[in-house]
Chain A
Amino acid sequence: MADAKAKIALELNGEPVEVAFAPHKTLLEVLREDLGLTGTKHGCELGECGTCTVLVDGTPVLSCLVLGLACAGHRVKTVEGMAERGTLHPLQEAFAELGAAQCGYCTPAFLLAAEALLATDPSPTRDDIKLALSGNLCRCTGYIKIYEAVELAAARMRGEDAKPAPETLYGVQ
């Protein structure tokens, strides 16, 4: 409790930052409590639900299992870093459009996990998407709108003029 604070420098959402915190803190706690970025959520703080996913050097990690200290000198990306200059990331856009964020609590983690997937595979199959997101739990959506949003965003990021299928929004006629 009375630990002296440690100070690290890292790249956070594309900007250099320095932050001081009690050295036992996880990256999740440092982000939320010391950096004021509450967009990163938690559902267990035990590495079981994926809700705290952020990207470290482009790779999804569970921020509840990573010490803040371990991030010194690394690139960390949170949901707050996804939209650029007031424009939503295509994944954010597609999630909003299809209702892939219901309560929205799991959403930051899914967005970042999906972003990491599309960075390595711009044309993932449905099964690739399922596998890449299998460490993230969502209790609201049944995942379907999440898959469809990732596919829609992927198509747009490939430069296609993609629109959601009518049965995605209205059901099968």
Chain B
Amino acid sequence: MASSKKPTRFRVVGKAHRKVDATAKVTGVTRFADDLFLPRMLFAKLLRSPHPHARIISIDTSKAAALPGVKAVLVGKDLPIPFGILPVSQDEHALALDKVRFVGDPVAAVAATSEEAATEALDLIAVEYEVLRAFPDALDAVEHPEPAIHDYADAGNIHKLIHLEFGDVDRGLAEADLVREDLFFFEGNTHLPMEQHAAVADWSPPPDGKLTLWSATQTPHYVHRALAKVLELPAARIRVIACPNGGAFGGKSDPFSHEIVVAKLAMITGRPVKITLTREEVFYCHRGRHPTLMWVKTGVKKDGAITGMHFKSLLDGGGYGSYGVASTYYTGALQTVTYHVPRYKFQGARAFTNKPPCGPKRGHGTPQPRFALEVHLDKIAEQLGMDPAELRLKHLVPPNSLTANWLRIGTMGLGPCIEKVVRGSGWKQKFKQLPYGKGIGLACSSYITGAGLPIYWNAMPHSGVQLKCDRGGGVTVFCGSTEIGQGSDSILATIVAEVLGLHPFDVAVVTGDTDLTPVDLGSYSSRVTLMTGNAAIQAAERARDVIARHAAKKLETPIERITFAEGRVFDVQEPERGLTFAEAVQLAEAAEGTVGTVGSYTPAPSAAKYRGAGVGPSPAYSYSACVAEVDVDPATGIVRVPKIWIAHDVGRAINAATVMGQIEGSVYMGLGEALMEEMAYRGNRNVVHKIPSLLEYKSPTTLEMCDVVTYVVEDPDPNGPFGAKECGQGPLLPVPPAVANAVYDAVGVRIDEVPITPEKVFKALRRKEKGEAARFGPARFPDIAWPEPTRVAPPWDGGDGRAAEGGRGRKKAAEGARR
């Protein structure tokens, strides 16, 4: 097993387990949201805007309402209260109030006795629009402040502007032996979960006045809050149940229009209402990867040591805020956590445009800058005449250290990760030595294990667990986390089983139900294993203590000698002296009443105390290294990736099989982003999505997926449950830059843009032939009126994590730090 080199006392943790929901999933028994059918259920459909940017002059729903089978019709003024995932961007309405901001923006809704009747009714709704100038991309939005897409923004159509400086970067660049500047572009792409979003609402009329919503959501807690706000119902009368998600990847982590709409329709009609989005509508929901233009300038010494780095990003946000403010910060947050960067400056901007909103997709705002940084470093290594692996290995951020932007690094396993993929791939024999057309490339990355700060400011735990021990010996764990396929239910069962000496199948798991389970903030930011795991350990240890006390009394043994294993509670020095777990629970229950405990987890306060430091801090950082091998056909520009080697520092695997699955799935998704996936819109002013279908949105099938060689590196982190860090997002990040670097090794052209399509490779090869720059990528970064920087001294310059006197937001940050 993976941890065999470091023998441990674990009985359950670290082994490969069948997931607790595996049987339900392979027998088709798992109930996804669209599998729910309630008696008298109605079906809802949304009317969506055909215009990218328009004012609504009038809506006439009378004909639709008169259609047989139609039970209710809603428009924007029926749900006038705005909502949004972030407190700073409450800019969405369930149905457009006076303006539409992208093709597909919901305008009206119908509930009818059948989907057919609801669809027919949509055609009978007459909407009159005044079409406005539309903004197809971020450059256009930066250059044209009018007409404003929203009436709030940092400047014109620039939603958010960020400027942070950690130390004197100009001085750092002046000390360098080599200063290099590069431009990169990462095209937007989407989550594409196989399950289309679906939700079912049910309303129990007053005096109950109780609403139940089942939904394919990663964040039932945030949906709960949004429903309470928009419907003006007490949260105590709303129950949100997160159904197992049929894939999510960040695409089901906003509260959505359709969830609020079915809730309202159920309240009006007094009948259950279901909505299932069509695949085309899922493309309109989006919230995927922000298209991001990036500029980076780095100074290095002859040995590759970085002396200073300046990074700029411009994100194309689409029509609404979503997680965008956080995404923008993320494009500048994690540049510092892999290789030592002594001075660092970040300028980030997010523009509103007239496209489906962008938000968090696997890696949230960090795959784009990681692509830029890792290709940039490859170019620097070449200029310095260094091996790219050596350059990286030489300048790793040390474990247990602070970065320039005050992120606290714990364990840091990137070194062993690089060594494993270098050795495994035969890097030293292949790099620069393969025949023309074949190439090999290396890249690394890091990702957070949960955001250190919550989305809305509060002092409560990020994760809560309740545990109930049954006198029959079973244990039930209740937690608000949501199973999206990543295996979070099994993590809970495995951890509780480890502590209480049971088998994971002895543990029943109840998750994602706001009536039954304590809050967990949701399945995002790779937070679930660490945060629910720590909460589960606390709850289980408390239960173990109660049970041990009474077992010790019965066995007349000192409590320190009581051990839980194999479903028994026994004296560790005389193992035959013991009780079954059930007997031990009965003793405890007889003495103290019902055996139930709670556990919770709140991350430690961050070292960073400046405004903007809400993004980046994490209890632990995972690390990955990747080598990709490519075949490039110079005649067509087609890139094939036969094999990828990936090593991931997971801290400790809780369930080895799940870790493997998460790593392989991340590599797959990274490969899709590297080679083919893109949210493409028609270039004219109508900004219609070109290809809202699974056929035309290219994603890897079995025929494009590469072989993957996986190495699991375990360096237990003291902040993780049994040392575990994340593995569901980080391993995606190094794949696109590794492929780009390999393409360069193969045919000598730089593709500074993702996806690396045949057309781009072909164009770059033509340029090379003509003696022009052997490159495909963006040519300029626009002038942006940046605000004054928030200046924060790095730890080694005597800083305290706060912004310099007079810096923006010092007071707010200080308040935040006291939470």
Are the C-beta atoms of A172 and B711 separated by less than 8 Å? yes
Residues of A within 8 A of B660 (CB): 99, 145, 168-171
Are the C-beta atoms of A171 and B193 separated by less than 8 Å? no
Are the C-beta atoms of A137 and B699 separated by less than 8 Å? yes
Which residue in A102, A107, A143 is a CB contact (below 8 Å) of B487? A102
Are the C-beta atoms of A43 and B279 separated by less than 8 Å? yes
CA A171 to CA B699, docked complex, whole Å: 25
For residue B584, CB closer than 8 A to chain A, the reply is no
Max chain A C-beta neighbours (<10 A), residue from B195, B244, B659, B702 = B702
Residues of A within 8 A of B195 (CB): 41, 43, 103, 105
Residues of A within 8 A of B695 (CB): 44, 46, 48
Are A96 and B114 also in contact (CB < 8 A) when A102-B661, A104-B246, A171-B2 are? Answer: no
B27-35, B221-229, B399-407, B810-818: which lies at the interface: B27-35
For residue B757, CB closer than 8 A to chain A, the reply is no
Query: Per-residue CB proximity of A6-23 to B under 8 Å, as 1/0?
Result: 000000000000000000
A32-40, A55-63, A65-73, A154-162: which lies at the interface: A32-40
Query: Per-residue CB proximity of B1-35 to A under 8 Å, as 1/0?
Result: 11010000000000010110111111111111011
Min CB distance A52 to B, Å, is 11
Are the C-beta atoms of B22 and A40 separated by less than 8 Å? no
Min CB distance A154 to B, Å, is 16
For residue A111, CB closer than 8 A to chain B, the reply is yes
Are the C-beta atoms of A144 and B708 separated by less than 8 Å? yes
Min CB distance B1 to A, Å, is 5
Q: Which of B717-768 contact A (CB under 8 A)?
A: none
The chain A residue with its CB closest to the CB of B694 is: A48
Are the C-beta atoms of A97 and B246 separated by less than 8 Å? no
Residues of B within 8 A of A104 (CB): 21, 24-26, 30, 244, 246, 485
B123-131, B310-318, B601-609, B662-670: which lies at the interface: B662-670
Are the C-beta atoms of A46 and B693 separated by less than 8 Å? yes
Are the C-beta atoms of B657 and A98 separated by less than 8 Å? yes
Q: Which of A38-93 contact B (CB under 8 A)?
A: 38-46, 48-49, 51, 78-80, 82-83, 88, 92-93
Number of B residues near A (Cβ < 8 Å) is 73
CA A145 to CA B656, docked complex, whole Å: 13
CA A98 to CA B22, docked complex, whole Å: 10
Residues of A within 8 A of B248 (CB): 103
CA A163 to CA B756, docked complex, whole Å: 39
For residue A1, CB closer than 8 A to chain B, the reply is yes
For residue B116, CB closer than 8 A to chain A, the reply is yes
Query: Per-residue CB proximity of B503-525 to A under 8 Å, as 1/0?
Result: 00000000000000000000000
Min CB distance B177 to A, Å, is 38
Which residue in B4, B26, B249, B279 is a CB contact (below 8 Å) of A95? B26
For residue A133, CB closer than 8 A to chain B, the reply is yes
Residues of B within 8 A of A135 (CB): 701
For residue B779, CB closer than 8 A to chain A, the reply is no
Max chain B C-beta neighbours (<10 A), residue from A92, A104, A133 = A104
Are the C-beta atoms of A139 and B25 separated by less than 8 Å? no
For residue B58, CB closer than 8 A to chain A, the reply is no
CA A112 to CA B210, docked complex, whole Å: 41
Min CB distance B724 to A, Å, is 15
Looking at chain B's contact residues, the main secondary structure is loop
Max chain B C-beta neighbours (<10 A), residue from A92, A106, A171 = A171
For residue A125, CB closer than 8 A to chain B, the reply is no
Are the C-beta atoms of A142 and B665 separated by less than 8 Å? yes
Are the C-beta atoms of B278 and A45 separated by less than 8 Å? yes
Are the C-beta atoms of A39 and B114 separated by less than 8 Å? no
Are the C-beta atoms of B485 and A140 separated by less than 8 Å? yes
Are the C-beta atoms of A140 and B27 separated by less than 8 Å? no
For residue B709, CB closer than 8 A to chain A, the reply is yes
Are the C-beta atoms of B669 and A139 separated by less than 8 Å? yes
Query: Per-residue CB proximity of B414-449 to A under 8 Å, as 1/0?
Result: 000000000010000000000000000000000000
Residues of B within 8 A of A172 (CB): 424, 709-711
For residue B473, CB closer than 8 A to chain A, the reply is no
Are the C-beta atoms of B194 and A97 separated by less than 8 Å? no
CA A98 to CA B34, docked complex, whole Å: 27
CA A171 to CA B711, docked complex, whole Å: 5
For residue A101, CB closer than 8 A to chain B, the reply is yes
Closest 4 A/B residue pairs (Cβ): A39-B28, A103-B485, A142-B668, A104-B25
20 extra A-B contacts, CB within 8 A, seeds A96-B18, A103-B193: A1-B69, A39-B29, A41-B194, A43-B194, A43-B279, A44-B279, A49-B694, A51-B194, A80-B28, A92-B23, A96-B19, A102-B247, A102-B486, A104-B21, A104-B30, A142-B708, A144-B705, A170-B1, A170-B16, A171-B2
- The residues of A with any CB-CB pair to B shorter than 8 Å are 1, 32-33, 36-46, 48-49, 51, 78-80, 82-83, 88, 92-93, 95-99, 101-108, 111, 129-131, 133-145, 147, 164, 166-173
21 A-B pairs within 8 Å (CB atoms) are namely A1-B116, A33-B37, A42-B196, A43-B195, A43-B279, A44-B694, A46-B279, A46-B694, A48-B279, A48-B695, A79-B26, A80-B28, A104-B21, A104-B24, A104-B25, A104-B26, A111-B26, A131-B702, A137-B701, A171-B656, A171-B659
